[in-house]
Structure 1
Amino acid sequence: MPIDAAKAVAAEPRSTEISWDHKDIQLYHLGIGAGSFQGKPSPATDPDELRYTLESKLHVLPSFATVAGAGMGVVGGISAPGLDIDLASVLHGGQTVELHRPIPVKGRAVSTSRVAAVYDKGKAAILVLRTEAADDEGPLWTSDAQIFVRGEGGFGGDRGPSPRIELPSREPDRTVERSVREDQALLYRLSGDWNPLHADPEFAKLAGFDRPILHGLCSYGMTLKAVVDTLLDGDVTRVRSYSTRFAGVVFPGETLRIRMWQQGGRVQVAVTAVERDEAPVLADTIVEHS
């Protein structure tokens, strides 16, 4: 059996040292569209955008945790003992990042990854790959990637949770649109996700798409930036956690419509692709904040 759930969960965690500095932060922010928001007269030099792009004013969007160390925690998790997986059958189903304190602009940390759970969905398995990062001052973040593995279910395991969050019946408190540049996937992949699905048209066709698709985690970062800039006064330190389910693909050149509902200490979000009749992109999406 390609997946031995008990062996995978019982395996020793894997630890590696990671580091980053302002160049990694700036590259990530540019990859999720910082400095190019067309709703501003001069987006590249707008003071609100310079917080994401200029080293002397830099702060760190918490979703950077998903690419810190080139995302090696997820890579290590997929290769854990008990897992023998064809990467062509793997989809990123969801993502959660919990912040223990703000991420510094320059840092060095130990990233520890493990398989936190394996769920049996019948025709597929879901792996929960947990990565915890800590520096000399203590924990920084905990990141959970939910990985959907087609054809690997049916091993008799726990089906796990199936959370679905109903959207509020009222109109959103805010709705914004963010354009995805034609070259955005090419820039975002420089932060560590080199999957040719996001760059090579021939590879994309083999995967069933007529052209390359945007990284789900790029949409994830673009959405958090929109929430921070729109409802959290541009203050990245207010974010406590951020979770989503990847509900559909995005193609470079499309427009994201991001609807937000403020509910006390959290923002509920729904993201759709405007040009494809509001096709779902991110669902069950919550930003917890102070």
Structure 2
Amino acid sequence: MTTTEESSAARWRGVELGTRTVCYDESDAILYALAVGAPATDLDLVFEERLRVLPTFALTLAQWAPDELGARGGFDTRTAVHGSQSLEVLAPLPRAGELTLSAKVGEVWDKGRAAVFEVLVESEFFVATWSLFAPGAGGFGGERGPSAAAAPEGEPDRTTTLSTREDQAALYRLTGDRHHIHIDPEAAAHIGQPRPIMHGLCTLAAATIPLARVVGAHPADLTSLSGRFAAPAFPGDDHELRIWGEGTDLQFDVRTGDNAVVSGARATFA
């Protein structure tokens, strides 16, 4: 590592962020399912006696890890944005209980004017990776890292609609991410948005529910998920979910008009 790297964002590469035990019960898992758009008629997602926990619920349990890096000064929390997310499911989440999660910084990529921090969270049930885009933190002479996933070629094999509710961001905040831009019009205006925006993780997770239906899978049978957050989405909007691939290994994106809000996405179901 060069002297420049030692005094820069690169010094966070490999840093341990700690281990935490997180607790939840059936009500937490049901609230999450409702917040990402599960209808009340899907009893195995919203009724404790039949409950199957959505795998993406794990991402709310692990949100403390990227927050911890920001709190330690790894990046400027006022300007950094969540660039992309991945989730590998190792085992189904129990209906309720305690999970021990360990977190660390993975790679730190140099994008020139920005750095990208990877935060990895591991448990016996999942491995999740946050990619955080930090403007002003690049230029330390490190590797640029992988490029964004290429868009699938040709027209999608299938399309469906991802509908969101006007209260969806307000409800999703109750699962843990209470950033003001998702509820306060003044905070949204401060980042140049006309109204509060959806959480990227809410949009990505919400897409897995209609995606599973289209391919004849169950949303709780998700085994892996990834996607890049390309643009803000707004509560109450309907989006086009475009799907490439056959079977249960799929590429997809989420679009509003001609603009992608989630791009380069992939999901697999058991």
Q: Into which bin does the TM-score normalised by the smaller protein fall?
A: over 0.9
* SS of 2:202 mapped into structure 1: helix
**Which residue number corresponds to residue 89 of structure 2?**
99
Over 4 Å off, 4+ runs: none
**Which residue number corresponds to residue 148 of structure 2?**
163
**Which residue number corresponds to residue 41 of structure 1?**
none
Percent identity, aligned pairs only? 33
Q: Say which of 112, 120, 125 aligns to 1:122.
A: 112
Q: How does 1:168-247 map to 2 (within 5 A)?
A: 168-172=153-157, 174-234=158-218, 236-237=220-221, 239-247=222-230
Is this contact kept in 1: 2:243–2:252, CA < 8 A? yes
* SS of 1:97 mapped into structure 2: strand
Is this contact kept in 1: 2:104–2:120, CA < 8 A? yes
The gaps in structure 2 that reach 5 residues or longer are none
**Deviation of residue 179 (structure 1)?**
1.8
Structure 1 counterpart of 2:47, one-letter code:
L
Is this contact kept in 2: 1:73–1:111, CA < 8 A? no
Is this contact kept in 1: 2:32–2:175, CA < 8 A? yes
**Which residue number corresponds to residue 242 of structure 2?**
259
Structure 2 counterpart of 1:219, one-letter code:
T
Distance 1:84 1:76 in 2: 9
**Deviation of residue 265 (structure 1)?**
4.9
Is this contact kept in 1: 2:209–2:219, CA < 8 A? no
Q: Which moved more, 1:89-98 or 1:239-248?
A: 239-248
Is this contact kept in 2: 1:124–1:153, CA < 8 A? yes
Q: Which has the higher helix share?
A: 1
The gaps in structure 1 that reach 5 residues or longer are 36-43, 134-138
Structure 1 counterpart of 2:112, one-letter code:
G
Distance change in 2, residues 1:167/1:19 (3 Å): same
**Deviation of residue 264 (structure 1)?**
4.9
Q: How does 1:24-63 map to 2 (within 5 A)?
A: 24-35=28-39, 44=40, 46=41, 49-63=42-56
Is this contact kept in 2: 1:52–1:60, CA < 8 A? yes
Is this contact kept in 1: 2:255–2:261, CA < 8 A? yes
**Deviation of residue 175 (structure 1)?**
1.5
**TM-score, length of structure 1 as denominator length:** 0.86
Is this contact kept in 1: 2:17–2:68, CA < 8 A? no
Structure 2 counterpart of 1:191, one-letter code:
T
Distance 1:5 1:264 in 2: 41
**Deviation of residue 13 (structure 1)?**
3.9
**Which residue number corresponds to residue 72 of structure 1?**
64
RMSD, matched Cα = 1.9
